[in-house]
A and B are shown apart, each in its own frame.
Chain A
Amino acid sequence: MADPVLKVRDLHLAFRKGRHTTEVLHGVSLHVNAGEKVALVGESGSGKSVTAQLALARLQQEKGTLVDGLVEVVGHDATHSPAEIARIRGHRVTMIFQDPTSALNPVFRIGEIFTQVLRAGGQKISEADARRKAEQALAEVHIPDPARALDSYPFQLSGGMNQRVMIAMALANEPELLLADEPGTALDVTVQAQTLRLMDEMVTSKGTAVLFISHNLSVVREFADRVYVIYRGKIVEHGRTDQLFSDPRHPYTRALLSAAPKLIGGGLPDLPEHSDAFRDPLIVHEGCGEPDDEVTA
């Protein structure tokens, strides 16, 4: 089997401020194979977003960040040589954000930003070629008038349109890995569903691997091949999507599943904020080990 496009082994992360150190990740391991769609699910503050930021090498150089363990992105070591990741950002690994409208620079036309994206990693492309490629990419995400969209500012387009633009930008350079950090959470639910379906179609047809970060289990269920559940900086359960949803074994996963709103029998579920059982050790479903473990096991 080929090397995974994202491999995280025993990752520890802590932030130090003055004499105070806060540990955020306690030995997270996960992997995403080429073309695979993997979800990382957990509540806010569980450490899902920082994992993505570490994969993009966006945190390593910040002051007071203590990183230990391995993060390997398409064969580049993000923990020890973040500069290498900086060179592959935007074309071999890209990212989609929560709120597309605030992720696009408000005082520049979408066309200019798109050209910059196409030039990521020092790729040489002329203004005219970039324009043509951008129009084509926007047409692929079903934007009705690509030329007009490129001449627009983000505030002139709807949130859904901006999300389509974001998806087009994320996939324009045919990356091996796409990090989707709660994509479209800021959009309304129907538009979010539409754009997620679009993203799903696009990555499937292009064979792009995705690390999908979310707190929304129903979205994950439709989208992901495999799921990692993260709780307070630790992976607590890992399995194929069907395994995890039909047979949730970890107390925290079960709590998370019961927290999903139901159509019938409404009302908010009574969920404990914390329970000692949530700290139970990692549960791995059959056939889902980390790549290195399989060799030793």
Chain B
Amino acid sequence: MNPVLRLLLQRLAISLLVLVGVSILIFFVARVVPGDPARIALGPNASQAAVDAMREARHLNDPLIIQYGWFVRDLAQGDLGTSLYTRRPVTTDIAAYLPATLELVFVAGAMMILLGLPLGRLAARYAKRGPDHAARFAAVVAVCTPAFVWGVILQLLLAYIWPIFPLEGRLSNGVDAPPGITGFYTLDSLMAGQFATFFDALYHLILPATALALSGIGQSARLTRSSMIETYRKPFIEMSRAYGFREDRISRRYAFRPALIPTLTILGLDFAAMLANAFLVERVFVWPGLSRYGVEVILRKDLDAIVGVVLVIAAMFLVTNLIVDLIVSIINPRIRLAERRAKS
């Protein structure tokens, strides 16, 4: 079997196991935490009879093991239960809120890669000189400041004092959401040919995505820099120089690609962590995303919704890791060709 495919299948199997583990953990933790979800959902004024009826309907009186059995049966049919708070199926809620978060996280992730990696590469190339000091200082400031603080600072500077960008939301007032295909307003509006909506959506994305991305940009710049500097000391770079390879080609290609292998794995985790980080940024920018939904359902002890949200976020982590593994195995021929070597 192709080594890359085999690696992916292995990782996929492990991912599924992790997902099962996470589901068990969150299912029981959510139920062990004190508080009666039915009482919270119905409010203090509801009659005890109504609360009891809801507990019975939701199987909340059954032993935990039996409850988990119900949960697994429903999950097998693609049903994550019903939210006590929105009174809609959890899958519907997630489908409604997830795209907003993903759009934000994808744009932030793209910024992290497209700005962080080149910044780190340049810092390494001019190590211990002006550009390096500037980049390192900026990176440390970016990493040390939490995303929601960046959110408030950016809002203050670029939406309030100099009102260049919109303060909050995904679209301006009066702009209709594009027809929902992916749930990404930018993609949907492009596909529908609504360019004005596209630019409006993009315009709204910039500040929250930047706030979310800044620490990731700093982190990826720092990682790339240190990995590049280590690679620069390798004999094969000395060889490239002894053979007159152009310095910028070494920096862009012959030192960059080997340096990327250890960096990418960590960046994948950083990227996935943005999903969780997003909830504070979503709060600051009144962004109708999954993270906000997640916080609200946790506060309301909305059992099915909590499990659903956690499962989706865990799945995103695993998918990201899977993609990173795939990219690393493409860059690193040792993984890609592991089998061929064993044969010859």
Residues in A lying within 8 Å of B, measured CB to CB: 56, 58, 63, 86-91, 94-95, 97-99, 102-108, 116-117, 120-121, 153, 155-156, 169
- Rounded to whole Å, the gap between the CB of A64 and the closest CB of chain B is 11
Question: With A155-B334, A156-B337 known to touch, is A107 a contact of B257 (CB < 8 Å)?
Answer: yes
User: Whole-angstrom distance between the alpha carbons of A116 and B239 in the complex?
Assistant: 11
- Rounded to whole Å, the gap between the CB of A82 and the closest CB of chain B is 12
- Besides A153-B333, A155-B333, 10 other A-B contacts (C-beta < 8 A): A89-B242, A89-B243, A90-B243, A95-B239, A97-B239, A105-B254, A116-B243, A121-B244, A153-B334, A156-B344
The total of Cβ contacts below 8 Å across the A-B interface reads: 73
User: Whole-angstrom distance between the alpha carbons of A56 and B234 in the complex?
Assistant: 17
Question: With A105-B254, A106-B258, A107-B261 known to touch, is A117 a contact of B243 (CB < 8 Å)?
Answer: yes
6 smallest beta-carbon distances between A and B, as pairs = A90-B244, A90-B243, A120-B244, A89-B244, A105-B236, A103-B239
Chain B 276-318: CB-based contact to A (< 8 A → 1; otherwise 0): 0000000000000000000000000000000000000000000
Are B333 and A86 in contact, CB atoms less than 8 angstroms apart?
A: no
Are A89 and B241 in contact, CB atoms less than 8 angstroms apart?
A: yes
Q: Is B340 an interface residue (CB 8 A)?
A: yes
Are B235 and A99 in contact, CB atoms less than 8 angstroms apart?
A: yes
Residues in B lying within 8 Å of A, measured CB to CB: 128, 234-236, 238-245, 249, 254, 257-258, 261, 331-334, 337, 340-341, 344
Are A107 and B258 in contact, CB atoms less than 8 angstroms apart?
A: yes
Residue of B nearest to A58 (CB): B241
- Rounded to whole Å, the gap between the CB of B338 and the closest CB of chain A is 10
Question: With A105-B236, A107-B258 known to touch, is A153 a contact of B244 (CB < 8 Å)?
Answer: no
- Rounded to whole Å, the gap between the CB of B131 and the closest CB of chain A is 16
The residues of A that contact B241 with a CB separation of less than 8 Å are 58, 89
The residues of B that contact A58 with a CB separation of less than 8 Å are 238, 241-242
The residue in B238, B243, B333, B334 that gathers the most chain A C-beta atoms within 10 A of its C-beta is: B243
Q: Name the one of A107, A116, A153, A155 contacting B245, with C-beta atoms under 8 angstroms.
A: A116
Are B242 and A104 in contact, CB atoms less than 8 angstroms apart?
A: no
The residue in A58, A98, A107 that gathers the most chain B C-beta atoms within 10 A of its C-beta is: A107
The residue in A88, A102, A116 that gathers the most chain B C-beta atoms within 10 A of its C-beta is: A116
User: Whole-angstrom distance between the alpha carbons of A104 and B238 in the complex?
Assistant: 10
The residues of B that contact A117 with a CB separation of less than 8 Å are 243
Are A102 and B234 in contact, CB atoms less than 8 angstroms apart?
A: yes
Residue of A nearest to B255 (CB): A105
Are B258 and A105 in contact, CB atoms less than 8 angstroms apart?
A: yes
Interface of B is mostly: helix
Question: With A108-B254, A156-B340 known to touch, is A97 a contact of B235 (CB < 8 Å)?
Answer: yes
User: Whole-angstrom distance between the alpha carbons of A26 and B128 in the complex?
Assistant: 29
User: Whole-angstrom distance between the alpha carbons of A295 and B241 in the complex?
Assistant: 37
Q: Name the one of A87, A116, A121 contacting B240, with C-beta atoms under 8 angstroms.
A: A116
Question: With A106-B334, A153-B337 known to touch, is A91 a contact of B244 (CB < 8 Å)?
Answer: yes
Q: Name the one of B236, B239, B244 contacting A86, with C-beta atoms under 8 angstroms.
A: B244
Are A107 and B333 in contact, CB atoms less than 8 angstroms apart?
A: yes
Residue of A nearest to B237 (CB): A105
Residue of A nearest to B257 (CB): A107
User: Whole-angstrom distance between the alpha carbons of A107 and B227 in the complex?
Assistant: 15
User: Whole-angstrom distance between the alpha carbons of A101 and B59 in the complex?
Assistant: 65
The residues of A that contact B128 with a CB separation of less than 8 Å are 63
Q: Name the one of A56, A63, A103 contacting B235, with C-beta atoms under 8 angstroms.
A: A103
User: Whole-angstrom distance between the alpha carbons of A103 and B239 in the complex?
Assistant: 6
Are A107 and B332 in contact, CB atoms less than 8 angstroms apart?
A: yes
The residues of B that contact A105 with a CB separation of less than 8 Å are 236, 239-240, 254, 258
Are A104 and B236 in contact, CB atoms less than 8 angstroms apart?
A: yes
User: Whole-angstrom distance between the alpha carbons of A116 and B242 in the complex?
Assistant: 12
User: Whole-angstrom distance between the alpha carbons of A193 and B320 in the complex?
Assistant: 50
9 contacts between A and B (CB under 8 A): A90-B243, A91-B244, A102-B236, A105-B236, A107-B332, A153-B333, A153-B334, A155-B333, A156-B344
User: Whole-angstrom distance between the alpha carbons of A271 and B318 in the complex?
Assistant: 62
Residue of B nearest to A170 (CB): B243
User: Whole-angstrom distance between the alpha carbons of A56 and B239 in the complex?
Assistant: 11
Are A104 and B344 in contact, CB atoms less than 8 angstroms apart?
A: no
User: Whole-angstrom distance between the alpha carbons of A103 and B261 in the complex?
Assistant: 18
Are B243 and A107 in contact, CB atoms less than 8 angstroms apart?
A: no
User: Whole-angstrom distance between the alpha carbons of A156 and B236 in the complex?
Assistant: 16
User: Whole-angstrom distance between the alpha carbons of A105 and B253 in the complex?
Assistant: 11
- Rounded to whole Å, the gap between the CB of A27 and the closest CB of chain B is 26
The residues of A that contact B242 with a CB separation of less than 8 Å are 56, 58, 89-90, 94-95
The residues of B that contact A104 with a CB separation of less than 8 Å are 236, 239
User: Whole-angstrom distance between the alpha carbons of A70 and B334 in the complex?
Assistant: 45
Are A107 and B235 in contact, CB atoms less than 8 angstroms apart?
A: no
Question: With A90-B242, A121-B244 known to touch, is A102 a contact of B337 (CB < 8 Å)?
Answer: no
- Rounded to whole Å, the gap between the CB of A185 and the closest CB of chain B is 12
The residues of B that contact A86 with a CB separation of less than 8 Å are 244
User: Whole-angstrom distance between the alpha carbons of A103 and B333 in the complex?
Assistant: 17
User: Whole-angstrom distance between the alpha carbons of A156 and B334 in the complex?
Assistant: 9
The residues of B that contact A89 with a CB separation of less than 8 Å are 241-244
The residues of B that contact A121 with a CB separation of less than 8 Å are 244
